[in-house]
Structure 1
Amino acid sequence: MNRIFLLAAIIFLVQCKGTPTVSGLTLENTYWKLTEAGGKPVETPAQGREVHMILTSENNIKGFAGCNGLGGDYTVDGNKVDFSIMTTRMFCELQMEVENRLTQALTEADRYVINGKTLELYKGETLVARFEAQNR
Structure 2
Amino acid sequence: MKYYTLLFTFFLFLTNCNSVNAVNSNNKEAQDISKLNGTYMVTNLYGKDVSEYKLTMIFNTAKNSISGFSGCNSYTCDYKADKNSLNTGFPIGTKIYCEETSDVEKEFFKVFAEEKYKNLEGNTLNLTNHKGIIILSAKKKL
TM-score normalised to the size of structure 1? 0.80
Which of the pair has the greater relative contact order for Cα pairs under 8 Å at 6+ separation? 1
Aligned residues: CA RMSD: 2.1
TM-score normalised to the size of structure 2? 0.77
1:84 equivalenced with 2:89 (yes/no): yes
Between the two proteins, the alignment pairs up a number of residues equal to: 126
1:118 equivalenced with 2:124 (yes/no): yes
Distance 2:139 2:28 in 1: 23
Distance 1:106 1:128 in 2: 10
Distance 1:72 1:16 in 2: 21
Segment drifting more, 105-114 vs 69-78: 105-114
- Structure 1 runs, 4 residues or longer, greater than 6 Å off: none
Between Structure 1 and Structure 2, which shows a larger proportion of helix residues?
2
The unaligned stretches of length 5 or more in structure 2 are 1-12
Asked if the contact 2:55/2:69 (under 8 Å) is kept, the reply is yes
The unaligned stretches of length 5 or more in structure 1 are none
- Alpha-carbon deviation of 1:8? 4.4
Distance 1:104 1:14 in 2: 32
Partner residue in 2 for 1:128:
135
Distance 1:100 1:88 in 2: 14
- Report the AA paired with residue 35 of structure 2: T
Q: 2:35 aligns with which of 9, 21, 26?
A: 26
Larger-Rg structure: 2
Partner residue in 2 for 1:52:
56
